[in-house]
Amino acid sequence: MIEIEGITKRYGETTVVRDVSLTIAPRTVTVIVGTSGSGKTTLLRMINRLVEPTSGTIKLDGEDNRSLPDYELRRRIGYAIQGHGLFPHRTVAQNIATVPTLLGWDRARIEVKVTELLTLFQLDPVAFGPRYPHELSGGQQQRVGVARALAAEPKVLLMDEPFGALDPIIRAKAQEDLLAIQKHFETTIVLVTHDMDEAFHLADRIAVMDKGEVVQYATPAEMLVKPATAFVESLIGAGERPFRLLAIETVADAVEPGAAEGEAIGSAATQREALSTLLWSGRKALPVVGPDGAVIGKVSLDGLVQRAAGPT
Amino acid sequence: MQFRVDKLGVIIAALAAYGAFLAPFATFRANRIVAGEARSISEALPSAWTVVVLLLVVAAVIVAVLKTPSRLRLGTAFATIAALALGIGAAAGHLTPPENTYARVSPASGFWILLFALGLLAADALARLRPSPLVRVLFLSAVLGFIAAVLTSGTWDGLSLLKEYASRADTFWAEAGKHVTLALGSLAAATIVGIPLGVLCHRVTRLRDGLLGVLNAIQTIPSIALFGILIAPLGWIAIHVPGAAAIGIRGIGTAPAFVALFLYSLLPVVANTVVGLAGVPREANDAARGIGMTDFQRLVGIEFPLAFPVILTGIRIVLVQNIGLATIAALIGGGGFGVFVFQGVGQTAMDLVLLGAVPTVLLAFTAAIVLDAMIEMATPNRSQVQSA
């Protein structure tokens, strides 16, 4: 649990973050979005005290984040940034081992952890461990950056535009990997981005920042249905709203009784994917199969159209 | 078969031909200070040597002019240089009348021009071969080994330079020791003081401009003026600080020379430390802080290793500069190879000047090659970055 209470940051006359209060539930993904200069990165960096707030407090699991020396606090919090920030003169294995080494883990334990993380991120430990960062592709470097952030098993992972430098295909893959990793370690993730698609895809809750203030902090569904300000509405994009709404729910929630012809869709797919399949194949309904492969009903075009409708 | 002409090779060949056939190869003097008489290759060398040297020079000229493989160019250049080195020794024996200890034989302009042309050919061939740092150092060792072997074999003993050495053998090594101590000692002191100063300048921006400005100003003071400036304060310290005189601090002598070299060394060390630290990727620094390194751990673990090649470049500049500058120390009684240079100038004995100058040049050259190799080995190879 991260409790941000009345946090303000001023640089001279300019207020970068103004009186922000947020409570972030454990084991969730919170995405902070906003235009550049909205103060989202500064807010993130105040959590691990890379930036010291002018006023206000931040508590991690009830403990004030100023109760420890800053470097000890940071060793407990994962930190991943855009452009990965890997140390160019250290191998992949050494990069990942950085925080465990700082914490004084013994060598055998570090080695086990590095191997585990590399395997988890689909990088062969034998092939990639001894390589230098410049020998990796952008996507691989980014994965090593996240692996390094997770090496000491932090409960909280802070990410500052971690996928900003990746091309769209690798970015989508990295996002899927992140969600899987988050489930695996049950990490609380706070991620900063200006990409709304990324925010809606990853977030349990989204905090929208504008001119240093949080203008809305809500689940993606709430935000779509009831945007708090015109700024939030424009950020979401009026034309995208029904599709975003369908994209954050799965087919399982839209199943109707009955049968349909043709190729089936899995219940774990998003409703947006179902709509897309319906439109492309020209059918009125699709059969839906559960995780075990058995048909559990159908999803219909009419049903999805109703679900995509905004509040009247 | 088609022959293609190498442009640089034509210039080298012209130089070599001029050196071999038009300029004098050796100078003969009846004693140390009278004007010399020029001798061509055929006059200076026994006939067998004349044939060998001329054949090799002609071969080198042909190899240089045509586009030939770099290894062949390098081999020919070195073989010819070796023949010249041994040949000039033979010339000394050939030209000096028996039992005459006053006569002096020294290399003349033709020899130096040939050496320069062939050195150029070798350096050009080496550059084209792009040897690894280790190979370059091995090459340097081979050349130095060759020079040492020729020196110990006595082949050059008849040359005037070695005669000057023979009459000063003990002072030569003492001055050599002083020279190296001055150059390396001031470098070590400048490194120990300069790197922390550089770190300080990097962290405290306001200090940077001021300090670098002062060090820049020091660099512009001519060395002799700096020695003069230092006489008064060091003399004062020697008189008023107990124990200072006992450890050798005086207004003249080694102390001011050491202090002056130290002051000259500071700017390259401090400036390169600042530049090196500034060149550390911002993301690496941010990540290091963000994952919980203390400032000291970040400095030692991230910033220093990444800035190291640039700092080493500063140290290289200082070392080569100090080896040269230490020569001036002789003017204020600081010792070093400069002693021979200034004595030689005073006596108009060019051979004595060379006895001081040649080892200085060799030292500087060796230091430059070794440190360049170290810098290259310390620089991570980032040329093979894959795209995403």
Whether B13 is in a domain gets the answer yes
Q: What is the extent of the structural domain holding B364?
A: 169-384
Q: Is B385 on the interface with A (CB under 8 A)?
A: yes
Whether B192 is in a domain gets the answer yes
Tell me the longest C-alpha to C-alpha distance in chain B: 82
Residue B210 C-alpha, separation from nearest chain A C-alpha, in angstroms: 26
What order of strands is seen across the sheet that includes strand A265-266?
A265-266, A285-289, A295-300
Whether B11 is in a domain gets the answer yes
Please indicate, yes or no, whether residues B187 and B69 belong to a single structural domain of this protein: no
- Return the percentage of chain A with pLDDT > 70, whole number: 99
Q: Is B291 on the interface with A (CB under 8 A)?
A: yes
pLDDT at B164 over 90: no
Mean pLDDT, chain B, whole residue set: 87
Please indicate, yes or no, whether residues B74 and B189 belong to a single structural domain of this protein: no
Strands A156-160 and A77-81 come out as parallel
Taking an 8 Å cut-off on Cβ atoms, the answer to whether A137 and B388 are in contact is yes
Please indicate, yes or no, whether residues B122 and B189 belong to a single structural domain of this protein: no
CB < 8 Å to A138, chain B: 387-388
Q: What is the DSSP string of B88-104?
A: HHHHHHHHSPTT-SS-E
Please indicate, yes or no, whether residues B348 and B285 belong to a single structural domain of this protein: yes
> What number of residues does chain B have?
388
Taking alpha carbons only, the member of A179, A211, A175, A176 closest to residue A193 is: A175
Whether B55 is in a domain gets the answer yes
- Across the A:B interface, residue pairs with CB atoms under 8 Å apart total 80
Question: How many CB atoms are closer than 10 A to CB A258?
Answer: 11
How many Å separate Cα B149 from the centre of its chain? 20
Three-class DSSP category at A33: strand
CATH of the domain at B317: 1.10.3720.10
Taking alpha carbons only, the member of A173, A64, A134 closest to residue B387 is: A134
List pLDDT tens digits, range B22-75: 889 888 888 777 778 888 888 888 888 889 889 999 999 999 998 888 899 999
A252's tokens: 């399982």
Please indicate, yes or no, whether residues B82 and B208 belong to a single structural domain of this protein: no
pLDDT at B118 over 90: yes
Mean of the pLDDT values across residues A45-69?
Answer: 93
Q: What is the DSSP string of A50-68?
A: SS--SEEEEEETTEETTSS
Residue A133 C-alpha, separation from nearest chain B C-alpha, in angstroms: 9
Taking alpha carbons only, the member of B130, B222, B177, B201 closest to residue B334 is: B177
Whether B161 is in a domain gets the answer no
Full-model pTM = 0.80
Q: Are A129 and A91 in contact (CB under 8 A)?
A: yes
Q: Is B297 on the interface with A (CB under 8 A)?
A: yes
Mutate: best of B291, B302, B308, B377, partner A, most A CBs <10 A = B291
Taking an 8 Å cut-off on Cβ atoms, the answer to whether B291 and A137 are in contact is no
Whether B284 is in a domain gets the answer yes
Taking an 8 Å cut-off on Cβ atoms, the answer to whether B388 and A139 are in contact is yes
Please indicate, yes or no, whether residues B216 and B290 belong to a single structural domain of this protein: yes
Three-class DSSP category at B108: coil
Q: Which of B83, B103, B130 is the last residue of a domain?
A: B130
List pLDDT tens digits, range B376-388: 888 865 443 333 3
List pLDDT tens digits, range A124-162: 999 999 999 999 998 899 999 999 999 999 999 999 999
pLDDT at A306 over 90: no
Mean of the pLDDT values across residues B309-329?
Answer: 91
Whether B139 is in a domain gets the answer no
ipTM over 0.85: no
Please indicate, yes or no, whether residues B189 and B55 belong to a single structural domain of this protein: no
pLDDT at B251 over 80: no
- Give me the pLDDT at residue B229, please: 82
- Give me the pLDDT at residue B385, please: 37
Three-class DSSP category at B297: helix
Give me the number of domains chain B comprises. Answer: 2
Strands A205-210 and A29-34 come out as parallel
Please indicate, yes or no, whether residues B179 and B108 belong to a single structural domain of this protein: no
Q: Is B296 on the interface with A (CB under 8 A)?
A: no
